[in-house]
């Protein structure tokens, strides 16, 4: 490696330190996901430059990298709130998040850190991830954005329910609760009329399609067609209909469309054929709309959360009804092949999800805030521990290796179907 005159070396180091300091300042104001990506990419690129090139060109390229990162991070600065109006669609879990503590500011940066143990105290079978304005993500997000100064339209399934009443009681006068079932076209039209009347010339800045339903996780063959249709109706068609209804307001404000999808919409997790298929459709719809709406200067972002403890699965009674629907739907032959013990054991999958889920949903809220507030929002956000690694693992690993680890990780506590667990029958099948 060649040496440099002392003056040139000191000049290069000074430039590098200055640019590095600017990048670090910008990183402090960026979302957690942006920070992680920039630190990883910057470290790898800078290290490669310094190791593979001469000292002079290594410093030059590293300084150039810092400059480009600074330009990129400048686009991550958050726009002023100015009481921008946002719409959040509702949950289909049907439970209120009355156990959620108030939002708390964290740290000297003045950002809000939200530690939400949604539905703490409920049985583990009633917890999962992704909710709406009645509960889960939507309930917490409505409070969070309201406290930040946004004008929030919180869509709920029951405008007289406990979740809606809590929002009215704890939030500012700028929050408006809307009766809006995303599977009901008339309620969407009524909500649109209310929003237009209230925002008038200000327009609607963002639509956050957060409504979601999981159904009962089970082998794809065991899931009734009615559950497939319900997942598609809520998770996909509902989001599409809301988007189409409110796009005129988004075009007027050159605002944001944020669709809350899921890791399961891109990664083929076991037991989630109905839910994953509906979220995959939403992910593809979002990717296409991102390109088509660019000419209108409307920015589209996808949120693909990892495992978080909310209540998308609903109550114990709802799960029992889903199990009964599944058993009533199955033909005698299929029930004989799988066995009732295996079929009823499917609910244990929810316990496995609960064990690997996080109680702190603040990464989701912060990423959604970034998506609706940043000058140049990301097209994809992956909040949650290990979420981005799972996506990379699926996209870059051989199929056989992914299938092996997917089975070990998500199917380790479920027994074999009745027929396959019988030695004689297993040999006949093979």
DSSP one-letter string for 24-76: HHHHHTS-HHHHHHHHHHHHHHHHHHHHHS-HHHHHHHHHHHHHHHHHHHHTT
DSSP 379: S
Identify whether residues 136 and 209 lie together within a single domain.
Answer: yes
Query: Could you say which of 74, 96, 118 is where a domain stops?
Result: 74
Higher-confidence residue of 223 and 52: namely 223
Q: Identify whether 418 is part of a domain.
A: no
Q: Identify whether 334 is part of a domain.
A: yes
CATH number, domain of 308, equals 3.40.50.720
Identify whether residues 68 and 134 lie together within a single domain.
Answer: no
Identify whether residues 39 and 126 lie together within a single domain.
Answer: no
Identify whether residues 267 and 186 lie together within a single domain.
Answer: yes
Query: Model's pTM, two decimal places?
Result: 0.76
Q: Identify whether 91 is part of a domain.
A: yes
Q: Identify whether 407 is part of a domain.
A: no
Give residue-wise pLDDT tens across range 327-356: 888 999 999 999 888 888 877 777 667 666
Identify whether residues 265 and 213 lie together within a single domain.
Answer: yes
Identify whether residues 39 and 150 lie together within a single domain.
Answer: no
Identify whether residues 12 and 130 lie together within a single domain.
Answer: no
Q: Identify whether 53 is part of a domain.
A: yes
Query: Could you tell me the residue range of the domain that residue 39 belongs to?
Result: 6-74
The lowest-confidence range among 69-78, 97-106, 171-180 is 97-106
Q: Identify whether 208 is part of a domain.
A: yes
Identify whether residues 66 and 109 lie together within a single domain.
Answer: no
Number of domains in the chain: 2
**Is residue 275 annotated as part of the catalytic site, yes or no?**
yes
CA atoms within 13 A on the CB side of 259: 32
Query: Could you say which of 358, 375, 390 is where a domain stops?
Result: 390
Nearest-5° Cα angle at 143, 167 to 84? 110
Give residue-wise pLDDT tens across range 349-391: 776 676 667 778 889 999 999 999 999 999 999 998 888 888 8
Q: Identify whether 414 is part of a domain.
A: no
Residue of 70, 275, 381, 388 marked active site: 275
Q: Hey, CA dihedral for 148, 151, 156, 161, is it positive or negative?
A: positive
Q: Identify whether 293 is part of a domain.
A: yes
Q: How many residues does the structure list for the chain?
A: 430
């Amino acid at each position: 490696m060649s040496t440099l005159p002392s003056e040139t070396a000191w000049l290069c180091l000074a430039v590098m330190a200055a640019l590095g300091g600017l990048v670090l300042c910008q990183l402090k104001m960026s979302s957690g996901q942006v920070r992680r990506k920039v630190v990883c990419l910057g470290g790898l690129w800078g290290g490669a430059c310094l190791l593979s090139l001469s000292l002079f060109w290594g410093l030059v390229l590293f300084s150039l990298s810092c400059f480009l990162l600074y330009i990129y991070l400048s686009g991550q600065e958050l726009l002023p709130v100015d009481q921008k109006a946002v719409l959040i669609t509702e949950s289909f879990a049907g439970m209120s998040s009355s156990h959620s503590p108030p939002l708390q500011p964290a740290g000297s940066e003045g950002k809000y850190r939200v530690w939400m143990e949604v539905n703490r105290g409920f049985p583990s079978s009633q917890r999962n991830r992704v909710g709406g304005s009645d509960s889960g993500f939507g309930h917490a997000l409505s409070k969070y954005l309201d406290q930040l100064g946004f004008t929030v339209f919180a869509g709920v399934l029951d405008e007289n329910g406990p979740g809606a009443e809590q929002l009215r009681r704890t939030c500012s006068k700028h929050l408006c609760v809307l009766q809006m079932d995303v599977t009901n076209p008339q309620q969407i039209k009524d909500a649109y009329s209310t929003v237009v009347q209230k925002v008038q010339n200000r327009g609607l800045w963002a639509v956050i399609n957060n409504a979601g339903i999981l159904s009962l996780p089970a082998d794809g063959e065991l899931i009734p067609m009615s559950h497939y249709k319900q997942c598609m109706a809520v998770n996909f068609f509902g989001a599409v209909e809301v988007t189409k209804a409110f796009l005129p307001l988004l075009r007027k404000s050159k605002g944001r469309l944020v669709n809350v999808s899921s890791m399961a919409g891109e990664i083929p997790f076991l037991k989630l054929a109905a839910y994953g298929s509906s979220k995959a459709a939403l992910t593809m719809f979002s990717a296409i709309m991102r390109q088509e709406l660019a000419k209108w200067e409307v920015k589209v972002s996808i949120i693909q959360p990892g495992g978080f403890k909310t209540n998308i699965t609903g109550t114990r009674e709802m799960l029992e009804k889903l199990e009964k629907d599944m058993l009533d739907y199955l033909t005698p032959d299929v029930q004989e092949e799988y066995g009732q013990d295996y079929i009823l054991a499917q609910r244990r999958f929810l316990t496995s999800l609960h064990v690997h889920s996080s109680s702190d949903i603040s990464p989701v809220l912060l990423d959604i805030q970034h998506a609706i507030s940043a000058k140049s929002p990301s097209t994809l956000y992956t909040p949650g521990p290990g979420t981005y690694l799972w996506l990379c693992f699926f996209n870059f690993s051989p199929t056989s290796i992914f299938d092996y680890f997917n089975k070990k990780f998500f199917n380790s506590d479920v027994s074999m179907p009745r027929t396959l667990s019988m030695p004689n029958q297993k040999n006949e099948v093979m």
